[in-house]
Structure 1
Amino acid sequence: MPYKRGKVWWISYTASDGTYVRRSAGTEDFAAAKALEQKERSQAWKEKEMGFDRQRTFEEVMIEYLNHAAQTQRSFDTTQHRVKALREFFAGRVMNDLAGKDIREYSAGRTAAGKSPATINRELAALSAAINWCSVELEWKLPNPVKGRTLREAESRVRWITRGEVDSLCRAARSQRNGDMLDDFIRLAVNTGCRKEEMIGLEWRRVDLVNRLVYLEGDHTKAGKRRSIPLNEGALAALKGRMAFRADHCPSSPWVFSRRNGDKVIDLSEGFEAACEKAAITDFRIHDLRHTCAAWLVSAGVPLIEVRDLLGHSTVQMTEKYAHLAPARVRDAVSVLDQTMSQSRYTENPAGRADKALKLVTA
């Protein structure tokens, strides 16, 4: 029978594995608590005696998955945001009964709300990851209807600017409060291809000015793999600017991008957006500085594999979105046809050409 703790009723029952369970019924209504207790006991008996699978709700699956993700994911905040969107649709759903129509209804609803296919697919990926984790690690027998039901995405956005526009952006940045830091940030980004988080979290101990390298450990990169980034003159100039700032204001700060009190900079988005507006550069985000670095390299003829290694992409397929910026590769390929045609013209048997001509005349 349910029993009371404070104002809330609690229930107790023996689970199918023999574990004695005591938990809150989450209600002050005795009848509702009793009904819940009977339901749990009935389900436990079915699992034990008849081999039925326990019914798992969306909340149960997500709680287990998020507890795991909080310990292992660097992008846990993003995962939480996606789960929040999922909860609005799947709250209270029994995951054992999840079917393809539920996934299609979710996608249709999010599309009607104005969300892009890429956003919807990332949310569904979080749902799929949660189901898979519970199925493998907890051995819950759950279907995963997300597989094969993602939406077709448009080609990923690639926005980059010219060197002249970078100079204009840096001039606009320097005209603002703390503009020297934003200027150095922009120049370091376009000369190394580092992500925003990689630069904001950069420590001086990982900067080697003698060998002109920046070292990133797996904890600092999105792919979880360490990599070394060579420094050209533009990147060195930006780091020397930060070094002079540190010497004047916070000599003991471990951070490359720090405030005057030595604390790490949290975000530069507001100043960056203001600088873009002053420089009349539209539809340009901080992450596009990374695209700009890649675009410059590919346009200069640097092989995609080398660009991949610099940017830290997991596969060269991720780097191929910049391939259209290297028309010289295609031009060289087509020029091979000219050479082939030219060679065949001069190596063809003269007698053979005469025979062809004769046939045309007599036809």
Structure 2
Amino acid sequence: MPEWFKKLRLVDINNKEVEMLQSYFIKQQYSTATCNRYISILKASMTKAYEWELISEKKLKSIRKVKPLKGENKRLRYLNSEEIQRLLDVCDKHLYPIVFIALHTGMRKGEILNLKWDMIDLKNDLILLDKTKNCERREIPINKALKQVLLQLHSQRRLDTDYVFVNPDTGKNYTYIKRSFATACRKAGIKDFHFHDLRHTYASQLVMNGVDLKTVQELLGHKSLTMTLRYAHLSQAHKREAVKVLEKLHYYNFTTFYYSEG
């Protein structure tokens, strides 16, 4: 957030200042989605200020007139079970557990690479995140498959650092895995796929296997259900595929089906 904006009082913020803030984000090369998210948060804050009678209705309407930037990417890319296995099979030794954790927790890349052992509670099977994107504490359950991977990593951990994923050449935590991840995707024959899409894969697989959206929201750490609703259609599509099983059952003998009036 620019310093000039931080110094503004509530009563000084109008649509002009909000549009200037949009321009600042664009110059900083923020993505369209990120720009729109920040402006959306600002509008929500100003709505709350109006409810608390800190600003006038006229000012709130003025700010709400600021339109979101066009061209926001609505992309939702995820892997099916067969693609997941192909990707894991070709991951380098250092990359495999990073990808595995992403697939089993939905954690963001930065959260995984900055993961420390004191954030992992293997006794209670929880990963505890204090510094998240939404600035809220998040508890992520550890399933049996992930626990085996974490136990293996713990048995091989370096004692000179608390980071889980450490570059053996530098002794510091990994900060860049883009090249190795791209290589793994190429070897697996997976195109148009980014590391963040592992988070989409995690959520999509949960929804397609019957987990409700509210639970998925909590696991992902979304502040509102709106962001989680992008996965809603997967539940319906999966159900439609499921009922097709009935077409194969033998008790459907349409050749002996008759309709008689009266």
The secondary structure found in structure 2 opposite 1:190 is: helix
* 1:279 CA displacement: 1.5
- State yes or no: 1:245 paired with 2:162: no
- State yes or no: 1:194 paired with 2:103: no
d(CA) in 2 for partners of 1:297, 1:277: 26
* 1:304 CA displacement: 0.7
d(CA) in 2 for partners of 1:310, 1:213: 12
Report the counterpart of residue 172 of structure 1 in structure 2.
90
1:88-127 pair list within 5 angstroms: 99=16, 103=19, 118=33, 121=36
d(CA) in 2 for partners of 1:273, 1:188: 17
Evaluate the alpha carbon distance shift between residue 269 and residue 245 of structure 1 in structure 2; reply closer, same or farther with a 3 A threshold.
farther
* 1:224 CA displacement: 1.6
d(CA) in 2 for partners of 1:96, 1:253: 46
What stretches of structure 1 of length at least 5 have no aligned partner? 1-60, 69-94, 133-138, 175-179, 335-356, 358-363
- State yes or no: 1:182 paired with 2:95: yes
Report the counterpart of residue 219 of structure 2 in structure 1.
310
d(CA) in 1 for partners of 2:226, 2:114: 27
The 8 Å contact of residues 91 and 181 in structure 2, kept in 1 or not, is answered as yes
Evaluate the alpha carbon distance shift between residue 117 and residue 280 of structure 1 in structure 2; reply closer, same or farther with a 3 A threshold.
same
1:147 is aligned, of 64, 85, 94, to 64
d(CA) in 1 for partners of 2:98, 2:191: 19
d(CA) in 2 for partners of 1:216, 1:244: 22
1:205 is aligned, of 106, 118, 130, to 118
Query: Which protein, 1 or 2, shows the higher relative CO under an 8 Å CA cutoff with sep ≥ 6?
Result: 2
* 1:203 CA displacement: 0.9
Identical aligned pairs, as a percentage?
32
Report the counterpart of residue 258 of structure 1 in structure 2.
166
* 1:147 CA displacement: 3.0
Q: For residues 24-59 of structure 1, give each alpha carbon's deviation from its aligned partner in whole angstroms, at most 9, with x where no partner exists.
A: xxxxxxxxxxxxxxxxxxxxxxxxxxxxxxxxxxxx
> Cα RMSD (Å) of the superposition?
4.0
- State yes or no: 1:299 paired with 2:208: yes
The secondary structure found in structure 2 opposite 1:181 is: coil
* 1:120 CA displacement: 5.7
1:158 is aligned, of 73, 76, 88, to 76
The secondary structure found in structure 1 opposite 2:173 is: coil
Report the counterpart of residue 246 of structure 2 in structure 1.
none
* 1:328 CA displacement: 6.8
Evaluate the alpha carbon distance shift between residue 168 and residue 63 of structure 1 in structure 2; reply closer, same or farther with a 3 A threshold.
same
* 1:215 CA displacement: 1.2
d(CA) in 1 for partners of 2:134, 2:88: 29
* 1:116 CA displacement: 7.7
d(CA) in 2 for partners of 1:118, 1:221: 18
Q: For residues 163-204 of structure 1, give each alpha carbon's deviation from its aligned partner in whole angstroms, at most 9, with x where no partner exists.
A: 221222122222xxxxx1210000111011111121111110
d(CA) in 1 for partners of 2:115, 2:31: 33
Structure with larger Rg: 1
Evaluate the alpha carbon distance shift between residue 191 and residue 122 of structure 1 in structure 2; reply closer, same or farther with a 3 A threshold.
closer
**Letter of the aligned partner of 2:82 in structure 1?**
G
2:178 is aligned, of 252, 256, 269, to 269
The 8 Å contact of residues 185 and 238 in structure 1, kept in 2 or not, is answered as no
The secondary structure found in structure 1 opposite 2:139 is: strand
When normalised by structure 2's length, the TM-score is: 0.69
d(CA) in 2 for partners of 1:233, 1:103: 49
d(CA) in 2 for partners of 1:222, 1:62: 19
d(CA) in 1 for partners of 2:98, 2:148: 11
**Letter of the aligned partner of 1:258 in structure 2?**
V
* 1:253 CA displacement: 1.6
- State yes or no: 1:63 paired with 2:8: no
1:339-358 pair list within 5 angstroms: none
1:5-44 pair list within 5 angstroms: none
The secondary structure found in structure 2 opposite 1:215 is: strand
* 1:122 CA displacement: 5.4
